[in-house]
């Protein structure tokens, strides 16, 4: 089976599109995504550890040679140990990038559920709708694009607005959000899901390019 066939199979929607099935499928997807996030976090920590080693070694080299530390860190003064650590860092960063690119959300229920569960106990924890909205206001961010796509599609096609307190109170818990019938209905909407998948699985020059081609008149999307 080719990689594209595997991807197509993975992102096929549940055949029985009732609420219970959609939520059960999302739970399974999110567990896989959380494992991937844990792997990404470990690699991110490893990058930080290597950076500390680079700085420590650079301080030693700079002191021994009576030069500014920036000459060592920027590579103007070559040191084999520092260069080896830099190469190690680049390799780990590439691995981390690959893990991040492979993390895709097959539908909005999976996306919102993941956002609720991934950051529990951290400073980035999202408990309620307002937390989620603030997370989705980063200019040109992928989550910003997802959020604006939902907003614009639903305003135009369905008559409700994910960004409106009248439809979703700012204090609504994220668990209630991804259980909400309006959010569930998006997974049951063939046109919405076709467009969602085209953005989420977008490729450019053979590389994952999630939501890069998404266009909007929103000032948050350039």
Domain spans, the chain: 34-103, 104-222
The mean pLDDT of 61-83, rounded to a whole number, is 96
| % of the chain residues with pLDDT over 70 | 93
How many C-beta atoms lie closer than 10 Å to residue 92's C-beta?
18
Taking only the tens place, the pLDDT of each residue in 127-176 is 999 999 999 999 999 999 999 999 999 999 999 999 999 999 999 999 99
The mean pLDDT of 64-73, rounded to a whole number, is 96
C-alpha–C-alpha distance, residues 183 and 91, integer Å? 39
| pLDDT of res. 13 | 63
Q: Are 202 and 210 in contact (CB under 8 A)?
A: yes
Whether the pLDDT of residue 5 is over 50: the answer is no
Q: What angle do CA 86, 89, 91 make, to 5 degrees?
A: 115
Please tell me the pTM assigned to this model: 0.86
Whether the pLDDT of residue 74 is over 60: the answer is yes
Q: Which residue has the tokens 């980063």?
A: 138
Residues 6+ apart with CB under 8 A from 29: 105, 106, 110, 114
Can you tell me whether residue 173 is helix, strand or coil? strand
Q: Categorize the per-residue pLDDT at 55 as very low, low, confident or very high, splitting at 50, 70 and 90.
A: very high
């Amino acid at each position: 089976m080719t990689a594209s066939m595997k991807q197509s199979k993975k992102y096929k929607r549940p055949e029985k599109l009732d609420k219970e099935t959609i939520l059960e499928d999302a739970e399974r997807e999110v567990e896989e995504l959380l494992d991937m996030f844990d792997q990404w976090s470990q690699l991110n920590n490893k990058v930080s550890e290597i950076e500390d080693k680079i700085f420590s070694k650079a301080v030693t080299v700079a002191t021994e040679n009576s030069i500014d530390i920036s000459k060592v860190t920027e590579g103007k003064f070559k040191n084999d140990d520092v260069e080896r650590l830099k190469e190690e860092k680049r390799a780990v960063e590439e691995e981390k990038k690959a893990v991040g690119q492979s993390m895709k959300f097959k539908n909005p229920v999976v996306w919102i559920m993941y956002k609720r569960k991934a950051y529990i106990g951290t400073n980035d924890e999202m408990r309620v709708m307002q937390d989620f909205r603030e997370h989705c206001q980063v200019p040109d961010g992928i989550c910003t694009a997802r959020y604006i796509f939902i907003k614009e599609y639903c305003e135009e096609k369905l008559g409700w607005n994910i960004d409106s307190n009248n439809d979703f109170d700012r204090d609504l818990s994220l668990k209630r959000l991804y259980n909400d019938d309006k959010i569930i209905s998006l997974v049951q909407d063939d046109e919405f899901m076709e467009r969602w998948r085209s953005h989420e699985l977008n490729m450019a020059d053979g590389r994952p390019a999630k939501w890069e081609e998404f266009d909007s008149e929103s000032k948050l999307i350039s």
